[in-house]
Amino acid sequence: MTAHHVDHGLRPSSPDEADVAVDIAHSLDVHCVVHRVEVEASHNLEANARAARKSVLPPGALTGHTLEDQAETLLIRLLRGAGSDGLSAITPGPQHPILGLRRRDTVALCNNAGIAPVIDPTNDDPSMWRNRIRHEVLPLLNDIAERDLVPILSRTADVLRQDTDFLNDLATGIDPTDANAVCEADAVLATRALRQWLTRDGYPPNAAAIQRVLGVARGEAVACEIDGGIRIARKNRRLRIITPDTFDE
């Protein structure tokens, strides 16, 4: 086993926190690799930090997301107007081994093992949506519902994921480069087929971009632009991807 710690360099204490991570790993007889990255401090800080982590962590690295993270992710994506794919939240699997645990379980485990974890001060920064959802929105929703909503929200994500997987399987029967096939298919499945085709690095285009591509398929436009400087063009009733470096698919 190898532990990986990513130092985002966002605060003066981050090198010391990396040292603590190494010390904890060594106390458990585990080798620890520290990755140092540069993160652009913008309004999209959380997304930039996540992208920076993904760029340095090895394939198959396990993360410590818990059931609270799952519920928070669903609410964040709901606020962003996500469909069922986004509201499926974090996909359970080997890379998220403690997704079914509550955050209090991880705290109790550390206490029982005599481990004093570093508390990230940015987890209390109200400028980040996740923190306000964690500290304000979820407690308010729990109070309104008079029950703990974390497991309920997580079950909702599970139900939506099952529906999404089923529809995505059906959509694989549609050739997204065949404009006729896209136009003749059910709109829900055609949209999913295009989204699967146009997803890059795990990020699908937004709904508005998909609608523009559908317009190209229907002959309402010869081509359109989507995120990342990608152009979708139609020729002889076939759709093709034109990237900034002129690579065609």
pLDDT digits (tens, 9 = 90+) for 193-221: 999 999 987 778 888 999 999 999 999 99
Range of the structural domain that residue 19 is part of: 1-61
Report which of residues 13 and 30 the model is more confident about: 30
Q: How many domains does the chain have?
A: 3
Section 107-121 average pLDDT: 90
Q: Is 124 found in the same domain as 106?
A: yes
pLDDT value of residue 249: 47
Instruction: Kindly tell me if the per-residue pLDDT of 246 is higher than 60.
Output: no
> Does residue 95 sit in the same domain as residue 31?
no
- Rounded to 10 deg, the angle between the 67-79 and 138-145 helix axes is 100
167 falls within a domain: no
Q: CA-to-CA distance for 117 and 107, rounded, in angstroms?
A: 9
Please tell me which residue, 151 or 8, carries the higher pLDDT value. Answer: 151
Q: Which of these three, 10, 30, 61, is where a domain ends?
A: 61
pLDDT at 248 over 50: no
Is the domain of 138 the same as that of 179?
no
Q: Is the pLDDT of residue 244 over 80?
A: no
Asked, for residue 14, whether it belongs to a domain, the answer is: yes
Tell me which of 31-45, 55-69, 176-190 is least confident.
Answer: 31-45
**C-alpha to C-alpha distance for 111 and 189, rounded to whole angstroms:** 49
**CB-based contacts of 46, cutoff 8 Å, min separation 6:** 128, 129, 130
CA distance 46 to 144: 29
